[in-house]
Amino acid sequence: MAEGALKRTPLYETHVALLAKMVDFGGWEMPVEYSGVIAEHTAVRTHAGLFDVSHMGEFLVEGPDAETYLNNLVTNDVTSMTDGRCLYTPMCRPTGGIVDDLVIYRFNHEKYLMVVNAANIEKDFAWAKQHLPAKGVRLTNESDKYGLIALQGPNAEKILTTLTAADLAQLKYFHFIPDVTVAGINTTVSRTGYTGEDGFELLVEEKDTASMWKALTKAGSSSGLVPCGLGARDTLRLEAALMLYGNDITDATTPLEATIGWTVKLNKTVFVGRDILLKQKEQGVRKKLVGFSMTERGIPRHGYEITGNGEKIGDVTSGTFSPTLSEGIGLGYVPTEYANIGTPLKVVIRGKEVSAEVVEIPFYKRKR
- CATH match of 286-359 with 3.40.50.300: no
Q: State the Cα–Cα distance between residues 78 and 230, nearest whole angstrom.
A: 30
Q: What is the mean pLDDT of residues 281-295?
A: 99
User: What pLDDT does 181 receive?
Assistant: 99
Contact 330, 291 (CB under 8 A): yes
Q: What is the mean pLDDT of residues 140-163?
A: 99
Q: State the Cα–Cα distance between residues 116 and 99, nearest whole angstrom.
A: 10
For residue 114, which amino acid is it? M
Query: What sign does the CA torsion over 262, 101, 333, 360 have?
Result: negative
Q: What is the pLDDT of residues 189-216, one digit of tens each?
A: 999 999 999 999 999 999 999 999 999 9
User: What pLDDT does 1 receive?
Assistant: 47
How would you classify the pairing of strands 48-52 and 225-228?
A: parallel
Contact 80, 64 (CB under 8 A): no
CATH, domain range 12-54+145-239 = 3.30.1360.120
pLDDT at residue 3 is higher than 90: no
Helix 230-239 to helix 37-46 angle (10° resolution) is: 50
Contact 165, 184 (CB under 8 A): no
User: What pLDDT does 264 receive?
Assistant: 99
pLDDT at residue 221 is higher than 50: yes
Boundaries of every domain in the chain:
12-54+145-239, 286-359
pLDDT at residue 54 is higher than 70: yes
Name the nearest CA neighbour of 21 among 167, 199, 227, 215. 227
Q: State the Cα–Cα distance between residues 308 and 269, nearest whole angstrom.
A: 39
Outline where DSSP puts E strands in 154-252: 176-182, 185-190, 199-205, 225-228
Contact 236, 197 (CB under 8 A): yes
Q: How far is CA 209 from the centre of its chain?
A: 20
Contact 257, 277 (CB under 8 A): no
User: What pLDDT does 2 receive?
Assistant: 54
Bond preceding residue 300 cis, omega within 30 of 0: no
Q: Residue 146 to residues 6, 205, 218: CA-CA distances in angstroms?
A: 18, 5, 22
